[in-house]
Amino acid sequence: MSHRRPWPARAIRLLACPVCGAPLTARPDDTGLRCPAGHSFDRARQGHVTLLPPGHVPPSGDSAAMVADRVAFLAAGHYAGVTGALTAAVTTGGDGPPGALLDLGGGTGQHLAGVLDRLPGAVGVVLDSSRYAARRAAGAHPRALAVVGDAWARLPVRDAAVDRVLVVFAPRNGPEIARVLRPEGRLVVVTPAADHLAELIGPLGLLRVDPDKARRLAATLESHLRPHAAAGHRERLELDRAAVTTLVGMGPHARHLSPAGLAAAVAGLPERTPVTVSVDVTTWTRAG
């Protein structure tokens, strides 16, 4: 057996076979997962596991370059305030601290790791369609497990298995989120507010936040979940040109800008630029 750390057993118990839906367990040698029907899924060398039905191709996820930029930007602590706002929403209220978390579209697992640091009794699963992100997420926290999966398909998670589903700047599959949440569980969504990164939109030609985002979010969720609470987080950062470059490179803007075009635009910025970080944090419970 390699030197990789064992998967957290309680996190494995949250998972379901993507072929037949049966519970998954670890192989005796910790090299992968299997279900009672014999469907088996190998553990990658980097520590993650791919849980997709046979022949299913997930949506294209973040590229290796985007993931590298995300690692650099988050490791510098620029979004620590966002993680803090997420953690507050996850841990506030309810019947006690949540014990099982699912981070959908969780990328490198940085936000989930920050939440788990505040919940010493909890375990988590990061699910992302990017294998590059999953490789990073596999080492994000000793009580987290990383899965390559498709957030738009049936999730490889057991019914009513998790206390919290986290969605930070990622897709939201309302029916599946409602299915995997426990009866008293909650969904916590972080979305960009209208003034998020406002200082960079014009100079760099970034995508603007859809002013109808809140209504569209509600429309995708409200037949399966109901609003429970809402909060916001807003702060002002001062970013140098290198940090601005990694910030743009890690998100959807990177798909619309060439590296040369981005470099030229960033070169026109001051040495340090004030940048607004502004997000909405909404909490949802199961409907009915």
Known binding positions for S-adenosyl-L-methionine: 79, 108-109, 196
Q: For residue 168, how many C-alpha atoms fall within 13 Å in the half-sphere facing its CB?
A: 28
Residues annotated within the binding site for Zn(2+) are 35, 39
Cα–Cα distance between 154 and 173 in angstroms, integer?
A: 9
Burial class (CB in 10 A: 0-12, 13-18, 19+), 72: middle
Q: Which residue bears the tokens 């490198």?
A: 108
Strand partners, 41: 33
Contact 82, 190 (CB under 8 A): yes
Q: What are phi and psi of 236, to 5 degrees?
A: -115, 125
Q: For residue 259, how many C-alpha atoms fall within 13 Å in the half-sphere facing its CB?
A: 5
DSSP label of 192? E
Residues of 195-217 as b/e, b for ≥16 C-beta within 10 angstroms?
Answer: ebbebbeeebebeebeeeeeeeb
Residues annotated within the binding site are 35, 39, 79, 108-109, 196
